[in-house]
């Protein structure tokens, strides 16, 4: 489940709300141990996703770095190259 959580800090363009929410959803899924909550836990599950996404947005806004922002496309190419090497047969 958590393999889908990606680094969101120090990218240009900055992470958008959808990316932040997707990371929060993956986090809550991992912590709760379920990909889909039961009816009894549905409200609590989605409230946690909303709250974690909100706090994550604040975290990303407040983090400071001196490093230049990374380019998403360049990082995606690097990740594909690493994956190709790792899973080459």
CA-nearest of 74, 18, 13, 39 to 26 is: 18
Please name which of 52, 71, 55 lies closest in space to residue 63, comparing C-alpha atoms.
55
Instruction: Kindly report the pTM of this predicted structure.
Output: 0.81
Handedness of CA 13, 14, 17, 21 (dihedral sign): positive
The confidence band for 89, taking pLDDT boundaries of 50, 70 and 90, is: low
- Structural contact between residues 49 and 21, judged by C-beta atoms closer than 8 angstroms: yes
pLDDT in tens, 28-79: 999 999 999 999 999 999 999 999 999 999 999 999 999 999 998 898 899 8
pLDDT recorded at residue 22: 94
What pLDDT is stored for residue 76 in this prediction? 87
- Do residues 23 and 6 make contact, with C-beta atoms less than 8 angstroms apart? yes
Take residue 70 and report the two structure tokens written for it: 């990374």
């Amino acid at each position: 489940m958590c393999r889908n959580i990606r680094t969101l800090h120090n990218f240009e363009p900055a992470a958008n709300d959808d990316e932040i929410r997707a990371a929060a959803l993956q986090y809550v899924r991992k912590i709760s141990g379920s990909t889909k909550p039961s009816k009894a836990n549905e409200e609590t599950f989605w409230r946690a996703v909303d709250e974690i996404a909100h706090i994550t947005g604040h975290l990303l806004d407040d983090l400071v770095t001196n490093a230049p922002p990374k380019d998403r496309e360049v990082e995606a190419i690097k990740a594909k190259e690493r994956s190709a090497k790792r899973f080459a047969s």
